[in-house]
Chain A
Amino acid sequence: MMSALTNALEKLLFNHRRGVIVLFVAITAVMLYFASQLRVDAGFTKLLPMKHEYMQTFSKHQQAFGGANRILIALMVKEGDIFNKPFFDRLAAITDEVFFIPGVDRTRVTSLFTPNVRFTEVVEDGIAGGNVIPADFEATPEGLATVRQNILKAGIVGRLVANDFSGALISVQLQEFNPETGEALDYIQVAELLEERIRGQYENQDFNIELNVHVIGFAKAIGDIAAGAARVILFFALTFAITALLVFATTRSFRLTAALLGSALIAVIWQLGLLTAMGYGIDPMSVLIPFLIFAIAISHGVQMVNNHNTEVFQGADAETAARTCFKRLLIPSTIALASDTIGFITIYLIEIRVIQEMAITASVGVAVIIFINLLLLPVLLSYIRPKAGQREKMARRAARMNGVWRVVARAATAKPATGIILFSLLLLILGAWKATDVKIGDLQRGVPELRAESRYNIDSEVISNKFSIGVDVLTVIVETSPEGCINYDIMSAIDHFQWAMRNVEGVQSVIALPGVVRVINAGWNEGSLKWRVLPRNASSLAQSVAYIPTSSGLLNNDCSVMPVMIFTTDHKATTITKIVSAVKAYRDEHRRDDVQFLLATGNVGVMAATNEEIDRAQFPILLYLFSIIIALCLITFRSLATTLCIMLPLALVSLLAYALMAMLDIGLKVATLPVVALGVGVGVDYGIYIYSRLRDFLKTEDSLYDAYLMTLSQTGSGVLFTAITLAIGVATWIFSPLKFQADMGILLTFMFLVNMLGAIFLLPALAYWFKRLQPAKHST
């Protein structure tokens, strides 16, 4: 049945070779057109696990409280303090400038110069108040002295003004969708404008003092990530060149090299074209995927080219050789590529859109490879006749390699097999021991996608050092009935929660309405600390709450929602888990119907949800991935032993990859979780190619050793070459300016190389022992 189908396909394909080429050229032209319209598509909500409980809270209250999409601009003096004319001139100019950046919520811009920054002070006859920078402000010594006083009275040191008065902050909220047009915000444009209009215009100009501008926030981070991602073009060119050299070195044929690289390139063009046609763009987070597709296309193409070479070497003409290869590789290649596709599709289980897009991008790419490598490439090969002298050269090389393969093939004999298995068991134990140390989430300070020494992370460091506001905040949303803030009982419950959270390890400070009301209540009583209480009666509460605008982010219009902002010392996963479980324990212990403590918004809230989503999805992903690949192997090879021979090395390598992550302090997160799935998907190819040839030779050869030696001499070079090509390709990522790409590079290089070793050493060793234990089942 299978072979009948294969034969029919072979006839259909090779009897219409010209037609096939014309068809592929036409499709490629169309795809090229689509691919040329590819756009970069970055978004904030794409990075969030929107179905997660916390993110439900997040989206429900995003409108009122802005969520986590904030930009902070710090203007810092290099020496001295901020009380001078150039500083205030520039702070005013920047404040004006930010209003004109697209997406800025103009009601929520906060700076010394915005009217929502006020001070109150106690005087003999009550409370006096006003804007921190008065309307008639002039940057004279007297004017500046007044502002200095007002800053102290307003209690904004540490929040809007640096603790040592060396700078001031402008805080801006962004709206992802234009409320009028519904148009999505172009973050990369925002990032460029921040760089051009704010930093470019106001940093290090010819003023009397030197000023620095530091900018942080999601939009800036995504802009920097996109800029770093653009470097991918360079990696691509590098990989292309290296691959071309390697292919040419192996085949010594321009035409073969062109056929192989050309079809891989076509696969990438199709993938990018299809993405655009399907309405997707390319996200900076998944920009490496086309690159991966290129590498996979090459690796499978090499199998085809290698097989073709062997046939030609044995005397067949180009077309017959191509036909034989097609028939021989159709099934294993399809199975291998189907495994890759499944590997990528399982990532879709993580309900974070950017990862799901990655899953789609990658699986579309691999599906495309099936068509191009199995249909177009054999047809192209059928036109490539070996040059004179080519056969002799190849014979010499085969002889050289045979020495190596004879040694490697000993893995399929008693003693080495036992040794290899014992060594693998040792690795298994070590791996299992280390792998348990893998942490979910980010382990470093700053934005994890970027390197620690990047401008962005330095900016972030400066701001968190000079100001008391942490850049990491977990906001618990408190939902209650309307007018909740003038109900003593409710306010008291929130106050109690606030203090309980303040006492949790990893919490730096907590800001919530009751705390502010207590201070204002003291303000009504001459500022005496002895009156820092929540007044019991509603009218006194109302009197204090009236002083707090909704733009403070501490309450909504009808006072039925009051966020509690928990600033954390860092955003390490352990810190987040500790705080989140403290919140959960608290609300379980103090359950009441009229006050709900909902997790969570703020950047740490987002991280908490993401970490939990990854934690939830990681086991199912591996489960589905392995079960589907096992099922595919069982269907193809109809043998449990064979399936185990292929799967056990893979499982071991996946475990070792986890151990490597633990050792290198790479957390399991949005960028690294897909790597294991990708690695398994690609790693299984080696096993499938090797075993499918081994199975054939077992029918003709006397011993496993001989069969394996034959297998190696035919596919060994292909597997070795593939692993090295893929590894070199992804190893270039290690030099990426983006931390997550470097992490992915390290892990994928590891997985590609070690999976290869597993396939050529552990697989035959296992096969040897399975054959001895169950000789009957083996050669099915």
Chain B
Amino acid sequence: MLICRKAGSLLVPAAALFSLFLLSTSWAAEFAEPSPLAIHSLLLDGAQYQHRMIAVGERGHVLYSDDQGHNWAQARVPTRTLLTGVFMLDETHAWAVGHDATILQSSDGGRQWQLRYRAPDKESPLLDVWFKDQNRGFAIGAYGLFLETSDGGTTWQQRWISETDDFHLNQISSAPDGTLYIAAESGVVYRSDDGGNNWGSLTTPYQGSFFGSLPLTSGQLFVFGLRGHLFRSDNRGDSWTGLATGTTAMLTSALRSSDPQTGGERCLFAGLSGVLLVDQGCNGEALQLIQRPDRSGISALLSSDNDELVLIGEAGITRFKP
């Protein structure tokens, strides 16, 4: 009884505050609706850790799979906004970001999600998320929006990584050596050599937007973006070589996986209009262009069993063997 009363005395003001919160913003109660066609809805990003995969997209749709993307289930998610990025740190820890500067967190491998941050008044979507460990992470987005956390996503602080520009920060990735890259608007790539505390801007030969980068070992790096542009660097982005892709479709994401034919590695680049570029050996020498017949845009790639890919995009989730 005593315990209950004590707890109650604490709960009352908390509940009052919470309900005020609910009244002022009705979104808090809005969960994504379970939809039979969620798997075919617009999905924008995917993440994988061993057998577990997570894909996120429109209307707060989050889907997870325990068998490398053969079967998917819809997660319980407290938002209906368009989710743009997802990151898995390990089997259980995952974060997702989206429009209205939404940040979600899951501690059970993507089944249930908690809302950690939301700021629709910023009028700026978050576009990607990355975590170094269970505490330290970054969420990046449009108009230079850069949020960081040191407590696993419970609290977030905003800061500017460039003193002069507020370019869209489209995608963040980490190289095996710990270097971080952010692909941004207007041909800009930001690089951090100290785990994301300080950022410098790299010059590239292109003025259009970059939508992603694919860092390899020992300083090798691809960046890609608008109108089929793909560049390669061997010195951590200090100088660049343009690659002929044979397409003008926007390139959106990349994946490094083992090559089923040679046993070595291969790099894959995906884009709009169903475009898929295969680079055997990841040296940018012989790019093979595949255009999927349905020509629907691809937004993310995951590698599955049987040398198959899981394509995530306009048509939702599809499996494909290049």
Contact = CB atoms under 8 A, between A and B. Distances in A.
A526 B82 CA distance: 17
B128 to A, nearest CB: 9
B53 interface: no
A537 B35 contact: no
B204 interface: no
A539 B209 CA distance: 24
B58 interface: yes
Contact of B314 (A152, A529, A537): A529
A124 B37 contact: no
B206 to A, nearest CB: 9
B59 A529 contact: no
Contact of B127 (A157, A503, A530, A536): A530
Given A152-B273, A536-B120, A528 B211 contact: yes
Contacts of B207: 124
A532 interface: yes
B55 interface: no
A122 interface: yes
Nearest to B36: A503
Interface string B195-230: 000000000000111010000000000000011000
Contacts of A502: 37
B313 interface: yes
A240 interface: no
Interface string B219-260: 000000011000000000000000000000010100000000
Interface residues of B, number: 34
Interface string B93-126: 0000001100000000000000000001001010
A33 interface: no
Most buried by B among A122, A152, A157, A537: A122
Given A152-B273, A537-B123, A529 B313 contact: yes
A533 interface: yes
Contacts of B208: 124
Interface in A446-501: 499-500
A716 B297 CA distance: 77
Given A503-B37, A526-B209, A152 B227 contact: no
A124 B210 CA distance: 11
B147 interface: no
Interface in B24-70: 33, 35-37, 41-42, 44, 58-59
Contacts of A122: 226, 250
Given A122-B226, A499-B59, A530 B250 contact: no
Contacts of A528: 170, 209, 211, 250, 252
B272 interface: yes
Contacts of A124: 207-208, 226-227
B209 A532 contact: no
Nearest to B43: A529
A531 B250 contact: no
Nearest to B300: A529
B273 A533 contact: no
A496 to B, nearest CB: 8
B273 A527 contact: no
Given A124-B208, A536-B120, A530 B273 contact: no
Nearest to B185: A526
B174 interface: no
Contacts of B42: 529, 532
A529 B297 contact: yes
Nearest to A124: B208
Given A152-B295, A533-B99, A536-B120, A526 B125 contact: no
A532 B226 contact: no
A502 B38 CA distance: 10
Interface string A506-537: 00000000000000000000111111110011
B250 A527 contact: yes
A499 B32 CA distance: 12
Given A499-B35, A503-B35, A503-B36, A530 B209 contact: no
A532 B82 contact: yes
B299 interface: yes
Contact of B44 (A526, A530, A536): A530
A536 B124 CA distance: 10
B84 interface: yes
Nearest to B126: A530
Given A152-B295, A532-B42, A536-B120, A526 B250 contact: yes
Contacts of A499: 35, 41, 59
Nearest to A164: B293
B219 to A, nearest CB: 28
A180 to B, nearest CB: 45
Contacts of A503: 35-37
B164 to A, nearest CB: 21
Contacts of A531: 125
Contacts of A527: 250, 272
Nearest to B273: A152
A45 B2 CA distance: 76
A503 to B, nearest CB: 5
A754 to B, nearest CB: 47
Contacts of A536: 100, 120, 123
Contacts of B123: 536-537
A536 B122 CA distance: 11
Interface string A366-390: 0000000000000000000000000
Nearest to B121: A536
Contacts of B252: 528-529
A157 B81 CA distance: 29
A526 B226 contact: yes
A532 B313 CA distance: 12
A529 B272 contact: yes
Nearest to A492: B80
A155 to B, nearest CB: 10
A529 B297 CA distance: 8
B58 A532 contact: yes
Nearest to B229: A124
Contacts of B227: 123-124
Interface string A525-569: 011111111001100000000000000000000000000000000
Contacts of B273: 152
Contacts of A537: 123
Interface in B298-322: 299, 313-314
Given A530-B82, A532-B42, 6 more contacts: A124-B207, A499-B35, A499-B41, A528-B209, A528-B252, A530-B127
Interface of B: 33, 35-37, 41-42, 44, 58-59, 81-82, 84, 99-100, 120, 123, 125, 127, 170, 207-209, 211, 226-227, 250, 252, 272-273, 295, 297, 299, 313-314
Top 10 A-B residue pairs of the complex, sorted by shortest distance between their CB atoms: A530-B84, A533-B82, A124-B208, A503-B35, A503-B37, A529-B299, A533-B99, A503-B36, A529-B297, A526-B209
25 contacts: A123-B227, A124-B207, A124-B208, A124-B227, A152-B295, A157-B295, A499-B35, A499-B59, A500-B33, A503-B35, A526-B226, A528-B209, A528-B211, A528-B250, A528-B252, A529-B272, A529-B299, A529-B313, A530-B44, A530-B125, A530-B170, A532-B82, A533-B81, A533-B99, A536-B123
